Structure 1
Amino acid sequence: MAISLNKNSSVSLSKEAGGSGLTRIALGVGWDMAPAKGFFAKLSGGNESIDLDASCLVFDGGGNIVDVVWFQKLTSDDGSIRHSGDNLTGEGDGDDETIMIDLTRLPSNVETLVLTVTSFRGQTFDKVANAFGRVIDLATNRELARYDISESGSYTGLILASLKRSGGEWIYKALGERAQGVHVQQLADQSRSLI
């Protein structure tokens, strides 16, 4: 059973994988539209779709960005990180966007990965429901950790979680830090301050 995380809590993914030699993981993100309310919702016929984008900032030990994987760059320079592609609506069950990481291929200078979610059209997270981030061990297809985002609000970006190399282990930390920005580069400085 996966560990359910709260904001600022963390877990060793290596231990959660049961010592099976964690090699490949997926960071999945999912969301739904919050139900439209009020008079204008009835006039417009209900909900409009929301385009959230999952992205991954790749940092070295000095806090420098060495790569960014997002909907406009689906594969890292070294090929170790791959994005599933842009989901424009969030419709359907399960993960809406996924970032797959081959931990064995990450360069040795990579110390931290930061997962962000931004609203491409500038819609705020008060229009989002049932949002979550999770980590799956791709060797066993087992969910290792999950972070349900229950906070809504008038922000357009979320620094969701970090994945940090620590003494031969990978530590996943739920950050849940609100941000303003419609693409990942606008969250870079705030993300750096959290690692």
Structure 2
Amino acid sequence: MAINLQKGQRISLEKSNGSKLQSVCVGINWGAIEKKGLFGFGVTKEAVDLDASCALFDDAKNLIDVVYFGNLRSKDGAVQHSGDDLTGDMDGDDGLDNEVITLDLSRLNPAVNYVAFVLNSFRGQDFGTIPFASIRIYEGTPKRVNEVYATYDIGHSKDFAGHVSMVMGVFYKKNAEWKFNAIGEPTRDRKLEETVKTVSQNYL
């Protein structure tokens, strides 16, 4: 059964049968912005380019690697990005993730202690104007969902209005066990590099 993550909640990466998750996917699903036409007639769709990214840090909070639309694979091969989605769902929620980052914990460089997931609005479109946006963590592949482990709704909160970047959550290693912290905090950053710096300063 999936856990509905709440902001600030920490969970251990253990499945319902007691086994540990090794390979997980973090999927982002979002919709295009609807705009009413002149004098209220008709509706037009404005493409939304959200970018899911992953930053890897060591125990001393030094940045080791960043996986994003311009670098789709980590050096150790443990993290892979499905590719850049430039529009979002143009015809309503199709239930599919627009971008997926796959994380194989067993292949991670042993020096990695934190794996942070962030979201940036590439064109500077305000999160508060996007009709829906959610994150889900599941076992499987970008094209096959075996078991949804957790879901986290980031599109229905006034906290995100006026912001174009956020920290979704951080996987972290404690006593040789991986856990997940659902952060869900908007930041004042405009670009990915700034968001990664904010993560290292405030969320590890």
TM-score, scaled to structure 1: 0.90
Counterpart Cα distance in 1 of 2:189 and 2:42: 26
Amino acid at match of 2:19: S
In the alignment, the residues of structure 2 paired with residue 98 and residue 183 of structure 1 have an alpha-carbon distance, to the nearest angstrom, of 20
| 1:144 maps onto 2:149 in alignment | yes
Q: What residue in structure 1 maps to residue 12 of structure 2?
A: 12
AA of the residue aligned to 2:9: S
Q: Show the counterpart of 1:78.
A: 76
Q: Indicate the RMSD between aligned Cα atoms, in angstroms.
A: 2.1
Give distance in 2, aligned partners of 1:156 and 1:41: 29
Aligned residues of 1:116 and 1:158 also touching (Cα < 8 A): yes
Aligned mates of 1:52, 1:42 — CA distance in 2: 27
Which amino acid is 2:151 matched to?
R
Preserved contact between residue 120 and residue 166 of structure 2 (Cα < 8 Å):
yes
Describe the SS at the equivalent of 2:35: coil
Tell me, yes or no, if the aligned pair for 1:2 and 1:143 is still in contact at 8 Å: yes
The alignment partner of 2:131 has SS state of strand
1:177: which partner in 2?
Answer: 185
Partner of 2:88: 90
The alignment partner of 2:193 has SS state of helix
1:121–1:182 contact (8 Å) kept in structure 2: no
Deviation, 1:86, is: 0.4
* Aligned residue identity for 1:144: Y
Residue 19 (structure 1) shift: 2.8
User: Equivalent pairs: percent with the same residue?
Assistant: 33
Distance 1:190 1:117 in 2: 13
Deviates more, 1:69-78 or 1:89-98: 89-98
Distance 2:44 2:188 in 1: 26
Provide structure 1 residue ranges, at least 5 long, that are not aligned to the other structure.
Answer: none
Gaps of 5+ in 2: none
Deviation per CA, 1:46-66: give whole Å up to 9, x if none: 221110000001111001110
CA distance in structure 1 between the partners assigned to 2:61 and 2:120 by the alignment = 21
- The CA distance in 1 between the partners of 2:129 and 2:18, in whole Å, is 40
Cα distance change, pair 102–17 in 1 and its aligned pair in 2 (3 A): farther
- Structure 2 residue aligned with 1:99, among 87, 95, 101? 101
| Paired letter, 1:117 | L
- Measured after TM superposition, the shift of residue 20 of structure 1 is 2.6
Q: Which amino acid aligns with 1:141?
A: N
How far 1:171 sits from its partner (Å)?
1.1
1:59-74 aligned within 5 A: 59-74=57-72
Counterpart code for 2:30: W
- Does structure 1 conserve the Cα–Cα contact (< 8 Å) formed by 2:12 and 2:180? yes
1:109 corresponds to which residue? 111
Separation (CA, whole Å) in 2 of partners of 1:161 and 1:117: 10
